[in-house]
Amino acid sequence: MTAAAAPPSDRSRFWLSVLLTWAFMSALSLYAARAAIAAGYPAGPDDLLRLVEVRDWLAGQAWTDVSQHRIGVPGTLSMHWSRLVDLPIAGIVQLVSPFAGSDAAERAALIAVPLLTSLATLVAGSFLVRRFVRDRTAVLLAPLFLAATPLAAIQTWPMRIDHHGWQIAASVSAVAALFGRRRFRAGACAGFAMAAGLAIAIEGLPLALIIGVVLAGRALLDRGECARLTAYTAALGSGTLGLFAITQSPHLWNAVWCDALMPPYIAALCAAALVLMVLHMSPVRTPMHRLLVMVAAAGAGGGTLLLVNPVCAAGPFASLDPLVMEVWYKSVAEGRPLWHASDALQLTIGAQLLIGAAGYGFAIRHAHRRARRDWTAMAVIFAGAALIGIAVMRASGTATIFALPGTVYLLSLLLPRAAAVRPPWRVFTLAAVITLLLPLSPLIAHSALVPREAEDNGPPFSNGPRSIPADCGQPPALSGLASLPPSTILAPLDMAPALLYASPHRVVASAHHRGNAAMADTIRAFLGSGDEAVRIAKDRGVRYLAFCPSMNEVERYAKRAPDGLAGRLTRGEVPDWLRPVPLPGPVELYEFSR
């Protein structure tokens, strides 16, 4: 499955193009995010909570304990996040703190970690393109195309430290490694990279399975490809097992969660890998024999999952409270299908996917036999990633990167024709070709460089993590709470991370689904009558209620139940059992009086 690699070229020129592109995009993003950098804290709820998690770890919380002990009362919130993402943040904070203090150290981490994630993605994506496209000039321009994938850029924007950027980097690295010349080593490297991606987020599991299916198809046609398949599955199974063992608490071996890399999934992957070892260790020579082994491996994996935990076969969110599913989950923009995105984002992503698909079609048609098989394999991986990205918007970042081998192949076809145009029209023709293959790239640059009103200098085309008004969902609006004695606060789900970041208080729930029961109580309190809110407050030991009428979440509550608590407070109707507590800023604070 050796891809049609580019001919030997000057490696220094390749690396120079990668590093220069990264430096340019880093400067552009730093300038665009200058207001957020000056403020010194991330704007996204998940980024704020990630920083809270790092602070807790550095303050003495165990390496294997990623729970949030100030979320979910009574009790605590068991998070599905991975310490792997915390490592670079904590490392930079520890390195810089002795010289510049904790505040400057955190700001340095918030700047450096996204840029490092961006570099990792840029290197992996450039190598992926280089494995397929032969034209040297086109390959040198490939980093520019990587830099113009908006949903990938969003996840590596300065101050953005959530896990999605690292997940993209791991997925692209896995596919780039998959097409190496040495089959066993390539499969093993791809499997370990994908295992790291799954440890970071289970969202990569569909892509991991698609890769496995592609490798199985290749192994059916070519017995020599069995080495790549078995190495991939063995590395994927053992890698997930090892990462779980060193990053998770021992009590989680018996946990029933399905939203992260947990024992049911690990057992299924390992079972399939063990069966597939037959392909590598025994002389299974005919395609029919290989097919039987592969079917047995798939059956072993699926059967093991059903045996260990059949609930996980229904998906990671099957156990959500129906109210939480309807009111919260369906409103998360980045988890919705692509057609719910803005028109500009739909046009950009759609154009990139279609151009990439056209490039794959031309490449498969014109390539010789061996290269055609490799292009076909990559096209199937791209098609699978594209379908996932259309179904879940945030996954489109990976899909648009996988479109780039096809896009750059088209560039390699068009560049010679553009270069043949006589001066001075040659420059304009070359620029037109590049712009044609980078749809809406001028709009992306304009969106990044020009400040926008009523926003916080977040990433261009941001449609998910920054849905909270800057005056309510960011720490300055809640800093006044720090002077109050530590208490439990009933707050909107999206306000909780900023509240934890800015104060020592506890919250009933945040927008993180493992706190399903507490999330349901929070939603019912804001939607329901006063009696229900009082009951929930008593059951959970709540002292204060935090409120902000301008939050999107609160507006949804008020619209859904105009006579509920959120609707009444929005109209200024304060029940007699809530006592206003003076607090600077736009956030309203009330104390329960009964």
Question: Can you give the CATH number for the domain in which 530 is found?
Answer: 3.40.50.12610
Task: Please give the chain's pLDDT, 594 residues, in tens.
Answer: 555 544 545 678 888 999 999 999 899 889 888 888 988 888 788 999 999 999 999 999 999 999 999 998 777 888 888 999 999 999 999 999 999 999 999 999 999 999 999 999 999 999 999 999 888 888 888 888 888 787 788 888 899 998 999 999 999 999 999 998 899 999 999 999 999 999 998 889 999 999 999 999 998 888 888 889 999 999 999 999 999 999 988 888 877 777 888 888 899 999 999 998 877 777 666 888 888 888 988 898 888 888 887 777 666 666 677 888 888 887 777 777 887 777 777 878 888 899 899 999 999 998 887 888 999 999 999 999 999 999 888 888 899 999 999 999 988 888 777 666 667 666 666 666 666 666 555 555 545 445 444 344 444 444 333 444 447 878 888 988 998 999 999 999 999 999 999 999 999 999 888 888 899 999 999 998 888 889 999 999 999 999 999 888 999 999 999 999 999 999 999 999 999 998 888 899 999 986
Distances (CA, A) of 366 to 381, 413, 566, 573: 19, 11, 62, 70
Q: Which domain-ending residue is among 260, 293, 316?
A: 316
Number of domains the chain contains: 2
| Neighbouring residues of 226: CB distance < 8 A, sequence distance ≥ 6 | 219, 279, 280, 284, 290
- Among 260, 291, 316, the domain boundary falls at 316
| 255: in domain | yes
Q: Is residue 249 part of a domain?
A: yes
Is residue 544 domain-resident? yes
User: Is 181 part of any domain?
Assistant: yes
Whether 291 maps to a domain, the answer reads yes
DSSP string for residues in 67-98: -BTTBSSSS-B-----HHHHHHHHHHHHHHHH
Query: Helix/strand/coil (H, E, C) string of 227-252?
Result: HHHHHHHHHHHHHHHHHHHHHCCHHH
Tokens of 47: 């980024």
In the three-class reduction of DSSP (H, G, I as helix; E, B as strand; rest coil), residue 341 is classed as: coil
Domain residue limits at 522: 475-592
Residue 191 belongs to some domain of the structure? yes
Pairing of strands 588-592, 488-490: unpaired
Q: Which of 316, 339, 363 is the last residue of a domain?
A: 316
Q: Is residue 243 part of a domain?
A: yes
In the DSSP assignment, the letter for residue 454 is: T
Neighbour count for residue 101 (Cβ, 10 Å): 11
pTM of the model: 0.89
Task: Judge whether 527 lies within some domain.
Answer: yes
Side-chain-side CA neighbours of residue 339 (13 Å): 2
